[in-house]
Amino acid sequence: MSAPARQMRIRWGGASDRGLRRAENQDAMYADIGLFVVADGMGGHLGGSVASSLAVKTLAANSPSTPSELLAAVRHANQVVHHRSTAHADLTGMGTTLCAIAVVQSDDSRVWCLVNVGDSRVYRYQAGKLTQLTVDHNFVAEMVRAGDLTEEQAAEHPRRNTLTRAIGVEPQVLIDDWILDLTGNDRFLLCTDGLTNELDESEITELLDADHHPSEVARALVRQANDRGGRDNSTALVVDVDIEGLPAPTAVPAEPAAEAVSARSTSRRRSWRRSRSR
């Protein structure tokens, strides 16, 4: 006789603000039980907000329930944004970052599937530790990974907003994806770079550590980003996950554990380099 399925409880809340220097908010997000998405548009006036909104709506409309369906939904979003960009002269060159997490079925178990294109991020806060789960796709992040820049140099580099991947700029896009086991007492943060450019990880950790509803935490994160300068739109989507019968973990590694996380790229096309027009 098989064991009964454990009950999973998910709570979430989001906040978004145009910041103190931008005329409009070109970020977009979506949240529903089992699927959470954040996007940061680019392409100047109109284009950025169209791209991010279109990508998020397309992904949500596909209702992915497996890892392959989630990847297919991201590819579809890329095609939809690219088609709109090429069909309308005033939207030429628009694009967007996109990161998402979804509870999906893989073989005989439910897992988290993460996807990422661009430099919006997914973090996991667990047992007092903050772990960045996604990899930034921008010029300075690649230089840091190659050992050509320090984190401190990257923070002030003039090309820190130059993306190497984006949704909608080309007919196909390179997607990173990860599979994570479902564990108890997780708090996830999906956010745009308007937040992470203003707050360091210690500040993010302090706010995520608060025993407050995700909506309150998300608002506090965005408010503090504005207090630090608010140079860009900032969006935070906080997701809390509890699973009945699973104890809270006592420690997490500094990097995602190899046995719990797998990552792969789903296209072999060359990455794209272009500065965001903001």
If one counts every other C-beta atom within 10 angstroms of the C-beta of residue 221, the result is 25
Per-residue pLDDT of the chain (278 residues; tens, 9 = 90+): 444 456 889 999 999 999 999 999 999 999 998 999 999 999 876 899 999 999 999 999 999 999 999 999 999 999 999 999 999 999 999 999 999 999 999 988 999 999 999 999 999 999 999 999 999 998 776 766 766 666 666 666 556 678 999 999 999 999 999 999 988 789 999 999 999 999 999 999 999 999 999 999 999 999 999 999 999 999 999 999 998 765 544 333 333 322 223 333 333 333 343 334 43
> Euclidean distance between the first and final Cα of the chain, in Å?
58
Are the C-beta atoms of residues 238 and 12 closer than 8 Å to each other? yes
Are the C-beta atoms of residues 27 and 235 closer than 8 Å to each other? yes
Distance CA 232, CA 157 (A): 16
Record the pTM. 0.86
Distance CA 260, CA 256 (A): 7
Q: What is the pLDDT of residues 89-112, one digit of tens each?
A: 999 999 999 999 999 999 889 999
- Name all domains of the chain by residue range, CATH numbers in brackets: 8-244 (3.60.40.10)
264 SS3 class: strand
Nearest-5° angle of CA 248, CA 252, CA 258?
120
If one counts every other C-beta atom within 10 angstroms of the C-beta of residue 173, the result is 27
